[in-house]
Structure 1
């Protein structure tokens, strides 16, 4: 498959979306992964995520947290300890600069059976070129894994299942509607820059206080994740809209 160059990486998209009041409050702090930015941000937040600016599928992602005597950097299911941010940065400098890494405020993800999850909202253009929601799915992280991506071992599940232990039936329906609406608004915002794109995959995290956060918007979203659900209604709708 030919690798498509995106118009903007994660940081470019973030900086573009930040200008819009409709979604500004839902964007986690995201900056270029320089030594000084990492130092500043780890003093502001409990944890940070380091991600390749143009990576997909959850590959090359690290989670940085403070420990009693320094810092811990996790990737997959392994972790390394560092006494200072300087030491941590120096040992990964080549990786961070060569692949242009970004650093993002860590969101304390809501959990289901002690496993973190996030949400993918699929938004596609209809015949009138209006953006409409065509699917919503939850992605449950593998035990002890830091990413929820399907291709990194995450389990796709109906969003109702994941929210069951957090919200009662009526408020659950309303909350899901709120997430879908946020997905549409975010797609409309990014769509101002990606006018030719017909589909957006909006990744939304929910923190422990039930606040939604827009982690990223994919302009070439993977549709196959919806085919993993028993109920094929959403998958069929997504395929219909993609024709």
Structure 2
């Protein structure tokens, strides 16, 4: 089997994609999770996420919120408060170093029924080797959880359902099309490095001002989430594309 030209974690993908103007403004600030970077990031942003550089499925993710005179560390549905960032960092330093964590700018996710959600756009190569968007779905976080992932208890929902309380008919339709375009653009850029990959799962966050952000791109995306929808049109299309040989 042909080896990938590059094998990159979250930071490598971020640095590679940042070189391309078409996608740069949609990438949240991402750096190696050192204490000095954490200090800088928490001066710039009210919250940050700590993620394993090569982790998947939402496992091992922490969120840090900056308060007036304290820092709150959240993981799963647990919270711990620290009076200093040094103390917080010391409590998880060994994990951050062992699993090569990155720190990412916290995007305050849009909510549906008071629970945050993000979007997964599935992009796959067709018979001609060009990219098509084959599916788009929302993932709503379990109550009090910091991640939306399906395998961490997140609820898969249709994008129409999640955006109904934020946008009406035609503007919602156009907005969904813009998310699909962003997913395709992001996959086109990363595909310049992962040339042999035939599918990309693009995770997109939407903030309170309706700005989209590309959080991550999976090069081995899970298709089963689309099978949870009652309407199987997308899932069947994704399956059909997955059988196309390169």
* TM-score by shorter chain over 0.5: yes
TM-score in terms of structure 1 length: 0.97
SS of the equivalent of 1:60 reads coil
Unaligned runs of 5+ in 2: none
* Distance in 2 (alpha carbons) for counterparts of 1:198 and 1:85: 42
Q: Output the CA distance in 2 between the equivalents of 1:80 and 1:167.
A: 36
TM-score by length of 2: 0.96
2:170 alignment partner, SS class: helix
SS of residue in 2 equivalent to 1:88: helix
Alpha-carbon offset, residue 125 of structure 1: 0.1
Aligned length: 239
Q: Secondary structure at the match of 1:167?
A: coil
**1:17-32 alignment to 2 at 5 Å?**
17-32=17-32
How far is the alpha carbon of 1:15 from its aligned partner? 0.4
How much has 1:90 moved relative to structure 2? 1.3
2:74 is matched with which residue?
74
Measured in 2, the distance between the counterparts of 1:90 and 1:150 equals: 30
Give me the whole-angstrom Cα distance separating, in 2, the residues matched to 1:69 and 1:210.
30
The aligned residue for residue 56 of structure 1 is 56
CA deviations over 1:58-113 (Å, ceiling 9, x no partner): 00000000123310000011011111111111111110000000000000100000
The corresponding residue for 1:222 is: 222
Map of 2:126 onto structure 1: 126
Task: Quote the residue 2:12 is aligned against.
Answer: 12
Bigger drift between 110-119 and 62-71 goes to 62-71
Alignment partner, residue 137 of structure 1: 137
SS in 1 for 2:236: helix
Instruction: Give 1:205's aligned residue.
Output: 205
Residue equivalent to 1:39: 39
1:114-172 deviation line (CA, Å, top 9, x unaligned): 00000000000000000000000000000111100000000000000000000010000
- Deviation of residue 204 (structure 1)? 0.2
Root-mean-square deviation (Å): 1.0
Aligned to 1:233: 233
Runs of 4+ that moved beyond 2 A: none
For the pair 1:90 / 2:90, whether they are aligned, the reply is: yes
Cα separation, 2, equivalents of 1:116 and 1:46 = 17
Q: What's the secondary structure of 1:108's corresponding residue?
A: coil
Which secondary structure does the structure 2 equivalent of 1:96 belong to? helix
1:156 corresponds to 2:156: yes
CA distance, structure 2, for counterparts of residue 93 and residue 108 of structure 1 = 25
Give the structure 1 partner of residue 111 of structure 2. 111
Q: Structure 1: any 5+ residue segments left out of the alignment?
A: none
